[in-house]
Amino acid sequence: MASILNSLKLIADPTRLRILMLLSEESLSVAELQQILGMGQSRISSQLSQLKKEGLVSDQRSGKNNIYTSGIPAELEKIVHNAADELPERTKDCQSLSHILRKRKDYVRAYFDNLAGKFGREYVPGRSWKGLAEAMLKILNYDVVADLGAGEGTLSQLLAQRAKKVIAVDNSEKMVEFGQKIAAENKLLNLEYRLGDIEAPPIKTKEVDLAIFSQALHHAENPQRALKEAYRILKPKGRLIILDLYQHTFEKARELYYDTWLGFSEVELAKMISEAGFKDVETAIVDREEISPNFQTLLASAQK
């Protein structure tokens, strides 16, 4: 157990306190902390090392970077937050953090803008018709469906043939424009495209019967936040369906497909779904590609 006295000594330093507060709001790399704090790598790494030694932060390898997360014990949370409010840099740090997170999203959005119109013809890891078919068996007879991270809307168009209404959400303007065009051409009047982020979908609370993520969750900056939003928009006893990549080690996926996460294990995904408030969580690996790197498709379902 971390020493309360040692922890208090550590957070008495303004720089370490600033780092802790930033990490309590978002997991960040050293490079991102450099941009926010305007400090050198060695200084930040030194501070992180001290915080990690005392158990106040933890890190996880992601590609070439270590991603740091706050581990402030519950008994210190109030003290840390009150102390942070006295920091003159607090407002600036929050604004800089927001800017860094917007840059993350813009970087990924630019990639998908370039794919608009050819997405359905290009290879996408984990996009398996077998996997989609497995999911379709679980989503029959739903009135209002939300396709979160819909892309060009291939799945949305299939769903629109059975559901009374389908809301397709994507954060790429070009994807939304392309999807709207296809929907109009095919006279899918019950298919509505909305521009928005899966971590804050423009959908009313308790508006939908089914929320589905099809190869979208591993692009989210904060998958847990996206799952909580899915819980929010679902009606009581509403259903959640997730099709995503099973955990893999193909690092080039970050550059080739702008993946934020290298898939999820069944245990990891089930835990996130449960922590978002869902029950009756089920997971299964429903497909494995024969071509290297042999991506596998993970299917998960749950109920609100």
Taking Cα atoms as reference points, which of 211, 219, 283, 203 lies closest to residue 240? 211
The pair phi, psi for residue 69, each rounded to 5°, is -135, 145
Residues with Cβ < 8 Å from 222, sequence gap 6 or more?
A: 26, 199
Domains of the chain: 4-107 (1.10.10.10), 129-303 (3.40.50.150)
Q: Which residue has the tokens 């629109």?
A: 160
Give the global pTM: 0.64
pLDDT category of residue 128 using cuts at 50, 70 and 90: low
The whole-number pLDDT of residue 63 equals 67
Residue 126, pLDDT above cutoff 80: no
The whole-number pLDDT of residue 116 equals 67
Residue 1, pLDDT above cutoff 50: no
